Structure 1
Amino acid sequence: MPGILLGDVLPNFEAETTIGKIKFHEFLGNSWGILFSHPRDFTPVCTTELARAAKLHEEFKKRDVKMIALSIDSVEDHRKWSEDIMSFNQDKACCAMPFPIIADDKRELSVLLGMLDPDERDKDGMPLTARCVFVVGPDKRLKLSILYPATTGRNFDEILRVIDSLQLTATKKVATPVDWKTHTERLAAVTIKQKAPEKKTKREREQNFTVFLKLRDSLETHTHTHTFGGHSFREILRYMEPEKNQVKLSVISLSRTQVFPKALRMFL
């Protein structure tokens, strides 16, 4: 079945939606985007999901993320169902959904993007759309893909958390640890270069080592590069000026490209 992988550019497909015909790339513009599919309109789990997504619309908007949903139902069904969703949210039934829903009644887009759930079928035996989540960057490339079976509803608060991480790591050389949330610790990647001793090679070569240090999330992140030979780990940390940058002196992990330098081997 066709699908899309992380880093792939999403196709600039045309689709009929509750706000009219769109081209996907033009709809996104220079914003981030989230495309999420659901099995069928007027079903209990799907109603709770889109109701929650509608309530969180302002949170997505704050992050410059445009939302768009998809299922195999018609535009007419989407519009009628939208009234139920807004009523479920205790909003006036006449209020419009804050994001469009794609009508993929021929399943062409669902097949193209690999969104169908083979274990869930309609009365005619045709597969329904699974609960897919695609987060797309301003470059129109896939940044995140989550695939839930039709029987399991999504957690849109978790999706917001992941978007916060994606947007942070898109602009800074950091990684976010387990259960990370904004205003908590993050990990900074610090690259150290070593010149190998002459006696080990006929030509001078460099080795790259990445040390992950804990940073307070409110601080700016810096990448430090240092060429050393025989320096102690304490001297390396002193070079990186941890007091100035308020880096906590705790090594999370160290990755290598060739051989660990003797100065760091004793710490592993």
Structure 2
Amino acid sequence: MALTIGDTAPDFEADTTEGRIAFHDWIGDGWAVLFSHPRDFTPVCSTELGYMASIKPDFDSRNTKIVGLSTDPVGNHEKWAEDIQAIGGTAPNYPIISDSDHSVAKLYEMLPADVEGDPTERTPAQNATLRNVFVVGPDKKIKLVLIYPMTTGRNFDEVLRVIDSLQRTSQHAVATPAQWQPGDDVIIAGSVSDEAAREKYPDGWGGARPYIRTVPDPAA
């Protein structure tokens, strides 16, 4: 069974471009985004790493750390950072894990358990499943899993939107509807009875059906 929402994010220690980290300790009491890459010096990933660097302040403001992962050694990551800056204007300003023994990729079930050997002898196509995004909460549980094909760049603005929703729904007994953005109406969670909802929302709620109880964003 693949890792999924609600599972504990596997802990690990690994070398990165910013030194060795123990993943759970590195996350601390905040949130984290782990996003993986099949190899260094790949075109789509190069654009993604640069874009993530440019919007890192948006993650910081949400108490969310970001970390990349690729199977190449740290030395290659450092050389790749020069290309990333030339391509997108911003070099990675967050750690990139060197998963040169494939241990993290296997732990997160992105590569088969029998993969071994020099990672630089594998092609990106052989590592195609390393195009994942994992959002991890302060409780070290996986909150979101996205898997992208190698030919489609990831939408990290959407990851920010999901983190906004996750943080809102973790703090309040609400859910967020399709296309929700901070400030939009939210839906009272189904676990909240009408009686309890009336206590919390004495002005009532809207909604096209009784089971869709919409109220203003409690954090707006």
Report the TM-score when normalising by structure 2. 0.82
Q: How does 1:62-81 map to 2 (within 5 A)?
A: 62-81=61-80
Deviations 1:233-252 (A, max 9, x none): xxxxxxx3899436226435
Map of 1:140 onto structure 2: 140
Q: Structure 1 residue 114 and structure 2 residue 109: aligned?
A: yes
Higher RCO (CA-CA < 8 Å; seq separation 6+): 2
Report the alpha carbon displacement of residue 71 of structure 1 after superposing the two structures with TM.
Answer: 0.9
**Could you say what secondary structure the match of 2:158 adopts?**
helix
Report the AA paired with residue 193 of structure 2.
T
Q: Which has the higher strand share?
A: 1
Distance 2:199 2:145 in 1: 38
Map of 2:99 onto structure 1: 104
Change beyond 3 A, Cα 1:12–1:178: same
Change beyond 3 A, Cα 1:243–1:151: closer
Report the alpha carbon displacement of residue 11 of structure 1 after superposing the two structures with TM.
Answer: 2.1
Compare 128-137 and 33-42 and name the one that shifted more. 128-137
Contact preservation (8 Å) 1:71, 1:129 = no
Let me know the Cα RMSD of the aligned residues.
Answer: 2.7
Report the alpha carbon displacement of residue 87 of structure 1 after superposing the two structures with TM.
Answer: 2.6
Distance 1:248 1:124 in 2: 50
Report the alpha carbon displacement of residue 27 of structure 1 after superposing the two structures with TM.
Answer: 0.7
Change beyond 3 A, Cα 1:125–1:97: closer
Contact preservation (8 Å) 1:242, 1:249 = no
Map of 2:209 onto structure 1: 251
Change beyond 3 A, Cα 1:151–1:168: same
Unaligned runs of 5+ in 2: 113-120, 213-220
Contact preservation (8 Å) 1:40, 1:128 = no
Distance 2:124 2:46 in 1: 23
**Could you say what secondary structure the match of 1:160 adopts?**
helix
Report the alpha carbon displacement of residue 128 of structure 1 after superposing the two structures with TM.
Answer: 4.2
Report the TM-score when normalising by structure 1. 0.68
Report the alpha carbon displacement of residue 16 of structure 1 after superposing the two structures with TM.
Answer: 0.9
Report the alpha carbon displacement of residue 62 of structure 1 after superposing the two structures with TM.
Answer: 0.4
Q: Percent identity?
A: 45
Contact preservation (8 Å) 1:37, 1:115 = no
Change beyond 3 A, Cα 1:69–1:123: closer
Report the AA paired with residue 102 of structure 2.
R
Compare 148-157 and 174-183 and name the one that shifted more. 148-157
Map of 2:8 onto structure 1: 9
Change beyond 3 A, Cα 1:71–1:243: closer
Contact preservation (8 Å) 1:72, 1:128 = no
Deviations 1:58-117 (A, max 9, x none): 0000000000000111100101111221232335xxxx6211000112212111101239
Change beyond 3 A, Cα 1:62–1:125: closer
Unaligned runs of 5+ in 1: 194-222, 225-239, 255-268
Change beyond 3 A, Cα 1:46–1:165: same
Change beyond 3 A, Cα 1:25–1:123: closer
**Could you say what secondary structure the match of 1:116 adopts?**
coil
Contact preservation (8 Å) 1:16, 1:22 = yes
Distance 2:48 2:207 in 1: 43
Map of 1:191 onto structure 2: 193
User: May I ask how many residue pairs the two structures share in their alignment?
Assistant: 203
Compare 127-136 and 73-82 and name the one that shifted more. 127-136
Distance 2:80 2:12 in 1: 24
Distance 1:56 1:7 in 2: 27
Map of 2:131 onto structure 1: 131
Map of 1:175 onto structure 2: 175
Distance 1:3 1:31 in 2: 24
Report the alpha carbon displacement of residue 8 of structure 1 after superposing the two structures with TM.
Answer: 1.4
